[in-house]
Amino acid sequence: MIGCNRVRNLISAYLDQELAGGEMLAIRRHLAGCAACEREYRATQRIKRLLGQLPEPAGPAVEWPGLERAQSLRAERQAGAVRALWQRRRRFLRAGVLTMACAVLLAMLAPLSRPGDPNTVVARLRPSLRAMLATEERTLATEWVDLPTVAPAHWRDADWRSLPRWRGFAGVRLTAYTDIR
């Protein structure tokens, strides 16, 4: 007697008639009396039939071009592959050089862009904001000052960390405003 698990493991081989006579017979008998295994068999058979019906590709590519033509096509493919490789390498190289150039430029410009004193910071603010600061519209002014971009690093380091998170920016801005003043 053959069990369902064994039958299901052998269903593909049974379908392909790749089993010995005794096993073929045992599975045939089992399938005749077991609806679940019969369903498995039908489903596997359906897959096999679908694959067997797949059409052959058509078109000029499926004709043998002859040895010489095949060889010249291969040479073209290899040349194309080498070209593509070099293009990829050139792109990487270009990106690397550009990145390094940007890094060098930033390193050179960094000291210039660092504000040295409050007046520098004020000078970098937009004119409307400078006007607000001058008229002491503090509330409005603090909403507009984007300290992380205009303030010297030591302000940010000193004040930002000491304030609760929820009022961090406003607090720093107030400090900055006071310092600027």
The footprint of another protein (CB under 8 A) covers: 9, 11-13, 16, 18, 39, 43-57, 59, 61-68, 70-74, 77
Q: For residues 46 and 40, what is the distance between their CA atoms, to the nearest angstrom?
A: 10
Nearer to another protein by Cβ, of 29 and 77: the residue is 77
**What is the nearest approach in angstroms of another protein to the Cβ of residue 169?**
43
20 SS3 class: coil
Which residue intervals of 34-166 are DSSP H helices? Answer: 35-52, 67-113, 118-124, 127-134, 138-144, 147-150, 153-155
**What is the nearest approach in angstroms of another protein to the Cβ of residue 92?**
17
Query: Chain centroid to CA 22: how far?
Result: 55
Residues near 27 by Cβ (< 8 Å), separated by ≥ 6? 2, 7, 10, 11, 14, 19
CA 19, 20, 24, 27 dihedral sign is negative
Q: For residues 109 and 112, what is the distance between their CA atoms, to the nearest angstrom?
A: 5
**What is the nearest approach in angstroms of another protein to the Cβ of residue 108?**
40
Nearer to another protein by Cβ, of 62 and 108: the residue is 62
Neighbours of 155 (CB within 10 A): 19
Nearer to another protein by Cβ, of 12 and 120: the residue is 12
**What is the nearest approach in angstroms of another protein to the Cβ of residue 61?**
5
Nearer to another protein by Cβ, of 66 and 111: the residue is 66
**What is the nearest approach in angstroms of another protein to the Cβ of residue 34?**
16
Nearer to another protein by Cβ, of 15 and 163: the residue is 15
